[in-house]
Structure 1
Amino acid sequence: MHSKIVFIFIFFGCLTLVSSQLFCSDLLKRNHTKFYPVRHCQRSNKTRIAAKNVANLNKCIQFAENNQALAFNFGHGKRPQKKGDQDGDLLNLFDVKREKEENKTKIEKNLQELVENSDPYFNCEVLSCPEVGNMSTMINDTRFDYYSLYGNAPQNATCFPSVGLFMYYYDDRMNYTEATSTCEGHRGYLAQIQQVFDINKSPVISQSTLNENVGAPLKIPIRHAFIGLKEVGRKGSFADSLGIPLQCYRYRAWAPKFPSEEKRLGCVALTASRSWKMFDCRKHAPFICELKPTKPRRINRRKFNRRCSLKRPNN
């Protein structure tokens, strides 16, 4: 009898554990992101994580996801089989046009030098950061189209490579509810703890270096900033900005004596020492917004099938 009770207890314990894992897995899958076509006949000159030749767009997307890229350049045309194969997409025709205009008498020699001096061609270049605002590092290039998770990112967004785009509010202090509304107004939410974990692996989260990733200089020392984690329903029950329970994450960074046992439900802030502390949600404090991946304002997918024009705008 005793053994049967133990068996039943273990069985239902395992069942509860599996159900919890499936529940968390389902919630986390819903946060899947998508790459959008953003610019035709252009490529981004942002930092390249990796590059390779792939058979099609889906393979490039897979390569980007495997390398935790936030954007990529993809060449739809025929891939060159060897260096100097001008039947492929080795040459950027905008460069060819410029060479012709600058020196018409030596064009054949110049084109050969252009081929020899060009970097090895790969039709899939994955990038650690996307273009933001006016996309100032885009380059006209007939070999590529540009794809990004963030088709419409504000100019003052800060990129953490391979993590995401964030906006920092260190001067405009708000309570947790106001901070949440402000982030939502910028198509985002208070930073998720998994992303905070990835940021924490970078040296930028410290009082001495936070300012390096903010457009305006810091006027006061930053001790803490609200992130997307708060108690919901009852004490000790936490959920992030998307309603995902804390139990679905392995990462924890509680400071000593936290989480606190005060009666009032608390909201979590990230400190300059990379730990979590709880505060009254009514407290006015700095905060960190994480931007959602967004599609461009206008997407005309048909234009991505057109040949590149050297005379008229391609976008």
Structure 2
Amino acid sequence: MWLLLLSVSPLLALRCPSENPAPLQFHLVRQCQRAATADALALESTGTLEECMALTRELRGLALNFAPGGPGRRTNRFDPQPRELASSRRQKDARNRLSVFEQPAEYFNCHVLACPQNTSFAGMTNDSRFDYYSLYGRPTALHNISCVAQVGLFVFYTQPANYLNASTSCSNASEFSGSLAHVASEARTYALAQWLLNYNRQRVGEHPEPGILLAYVGLQFNVSKSLQPLDYRNAQQESLLCFLYRAWHKGHPRVGGSQANASCVALTPNGTWQTLSCEHELPFICEIFTPPRANTNTQLDTGANAADACY
């Protein structure tokens, strides 16, 4: 009897993101309303909602406006009806002076948006031709949510906590489903560090104590799960070895004997990562998850700012 010994690469045992993840699901949030398009990633005319969603995924948009067309949806019932012909002519003349991109609802039925609406739906316009969709469904009640365009929604907590308590605060929050922020990309690290930098700048002259120098993010070395010294893992246990991006501060990560006492990772305002003891109490950054596909039909919002009469 022969025994065949196989040499298995450590990478095969890593938990990496799926190469073919399920397409991100956009949820219908408001009917007969559209979000502002001042910072739209694209304005297009597509044949179907699915084509508009596919375009939004391609451009990494987080929300969209779509006008389905068809009976009852070709004109905006919320347009004010002028009482006099002169008023109608003035309105028409004003529209003629605007460019196509200054009135996108008149020319494009698919608006790809970099960020979703939050809390109050500020910037929404009643327009019976359009419906509004978001990756995040109905907004949470939190007012300290920050959107990183084309990346996601994050919540910054300035009250310090150790790593375990910070992680628990993110995963057990009643207002949202989330975890400590994933930072293994240049866009994520740069944008979140910029928020810390701006926060510190706003405090200059107002508070004598220093601002945020470090904030916990979702990277940790766990000796019981990590396969090698640089196998730091995010909140979903995906290894940093699965990603190409690194932003280690000079002298970090600490490895060898010192790693046991410096196995958690914090972000600096300069956009670098530092390793330190998980018992340090620091501010922290949570990332909000998108709702699961099972909740697709439960995200329609009919709150106080919804359109009064859709059809």
The answer to whether the 8 A contact 2:30-2:131 is kept is yes
Partners in 2 of 1:206 and 1:34 — Cα distance?
Answer: 27
Q: Please list the CA deviations of residues 99-154 of structure 1 after superposition, one character each: whole Å capped at 9, or x if unmatched.
A: 33xx3344653564466356251000011111001111111011210000122233
1:182 and 1:270 mapped to 2: Cα distance?
18
**Structure 1 partner of 2:48:** 56
Q: Is 1:150 matched up with 2:136?
A: yes
CA gap of 1:298–1:203, structure 2 versus 1, over 3 A, is closer
Corresponding residue SS for 2:194: coil
- Post-superposition Cα deviations, 1:22-42, rounded to whole Å, max 9, x if no partner, equal x62427836x53210000000
Whether 1:199 aligns to 2:188 is yes
Distance 1:230-1:213 versus aligned 2 partners, 3 A rule:
farther
**Aligned partner (choices 155, 173, 195) of residue 160 of structure 2:** 173
Matched, 1:128 2:114: yes
The 5 A counterparts of 1:107-256 are 109=89, 112-113=92-93, 116=96, 119-120=103-104, 121-151=107-137, 152-153=139-140, 154-170=142-158, 172-184=159-171, 185=173, 186-194=176-184, 197-202=186-191, 205=194, 208-211=197-200, 220-232=210-222, 233=224, 234=226, 236=229, 237-256=231-250
SS at match of 1:39: strand
Q: What SS is found at the alignment partner of 1:144?
A: strand
Q: Spell out the pairing of 1:84-95 with structure 2 (5 A cutoff).
A: 89=74, 91-95=75-79
Q: CA RMSD in A?
A: 3.6
Give, in whole Å, the separation in 1 of the partners of 2:49 and 2:297.
22
Distance of 1:133 and 1:297 partners within structure 2: 19
Residue ranges of structure 1 left out of the alignment (5+ in a row): 1-8, 80-86, 304-308
Alpha-carbon distance in 2 for matches of 1:220, 1:173? 13
Structure 2 counterpart of 1:62, which letter? A
Structure 1 moving runs of 4+ over 6 Å: none
Q: 1:167 to 1:39 in 2, by over 3 A?
A: same
Distance 1:256 1:149, change over 3 A: same
Q: Which residue of 2 aligns with 1:34?
A: 25
Q: Which structure has more RCO (C-alpha within 8 Å, separation ≥ 6)?
A: 2
Higher helix content, 1 or 2: 1
1:104 alignment partner AA: E
CA shift in 2, pair 1:183/1:223, >3 Å:
same
SS of residue matched to 1:180: helix
Contact 1:150–1:296 under 8 Å retained in 2 = no
Q: 1:206 to 1:147 in 2, by over 3 A?
A: closer
Structure 2 counterpart SS, 1:240: coil
1:3 aligned partner: none
Alignment partners' CA distance in 1, 2:64 and 2:195: 30
Which amino acid is the alignment partner of residue 44 of structure 1? A
Conserved? CA contact 2:34–2:132, under 8 Å:
yes
Identity %: 28
Structure 1 residues 288 and 207 mapped into 2: Cα distance closer, same or farther (>3 Å)? closer
Contact residue 92 and residue 142 of structure 1 kept, 8 A: yes
Match of 1:287 among 284, 288, 298: 284
Q: Measured at CA, do residues 200 and 63 of structure 1 come closer, stay the same or move farther in structure 2, by a change above 3 Å?
A: same
SS of aligned partner of 2:219: strand
CA contact (8 A) 1:206 1:273 kept: no
